Homo-oligomer: A and B are copies of this chain.
Amino acid sequence: MSRAERLLELIQILRRYRRPVSGEKLSAELGVSIRSLYRDVATLRAQGATIEGEPGLGYMLRPGFMLPPLMFSEDEIEALVLGSRWVAERADGHLALAARNALTKIVAVLPSDLRDEAAASSLLVGPSENLARKDQDITTIRKAIRAEHKLLIAYEDAKAVATQRVIWPIALAFFDHCRVVAAWCETRRDFRHFRTDRIKMIEALELRYTRRRAVLLKEWRALEGIPEQ
């Protein structure tokens, strides 16, 4: 195994463990001495990986993904740039920032003669027309989805009937004029959809819901007839 491959392997091993792992264990799994492991960690850090090491504990990789060298066609890069711009324009603050950061990283490594072209890429995203912005809420929802946490919401449906419910959010759909949360509703014991602009209050309950999101998502997709994207 070449060194480059081993570095990638190290990232993946670190990613598998969620808790700190000692360097000795990592070196054993890689079939390499502890000394080399320290060097590998240093190299990865130099490449931008956020590997945290604490004496007495071990190493832990801050959640993230290391992509190995990838080859993209011109169209593919253009698609990534356009997509990131759309997210930067339309998604909530955190995600929009992440989109800009991802874009910056990609553009930074392009050869200089192409950097300008990509930066000045001719595919633009227009502003949203009348999309009500509830950035902080969307961020809360996204976090809850990822953590499989319950949410308490005050909702006002299309007929202006107000309710309070505990929901298990599983997905967030972006439409032209609104965003919709798909969730399992504890009150109704069924899947329900909630337009984010009709959510009047939202409270993150630091409480995990009892089924796996992937499973719920699959059931919901089947019910709604939504194909995998």
Contacts and interface: CB of A to CB of B under 8 A. Distances in A.
Interface of A: 4, 7-8, 11-12, 15-16, 47-50, 62-80, 82-89, 91, 94-99, 101-102, 105-106, 109-111, 113-114, 116-117, 119-120, 122-126, 128-129, 142, 145-146, 170-177, 180, 213-214, 217-218, 226, 228-229
Contact of A177 (B49, B122, B172, B176): B176
A67 B67 contact: yes
Given A67-B72, A78-B98, A126-B180, 4 more contacts: A64-B76, A75-B94, A77-B102, A122-B213
Identical copies of this chain, number: 2
Contacts of A16: 111, 113
5 contacts: A67-B109, A72-B102, A83-B84, A83-B85, A122-B146
Given A101-B73, A124-B226, A78 B63 contact: no
Contact of A4 (B4, B76, B78, B175): B4
A126 B226 CA distance: 10
Given A123-B171, A124-B229, A69 B67 contact: yes
A79 B69 contact: no
Contact of A15 (B86, B114, B180): B114
Nearest to A64: B73
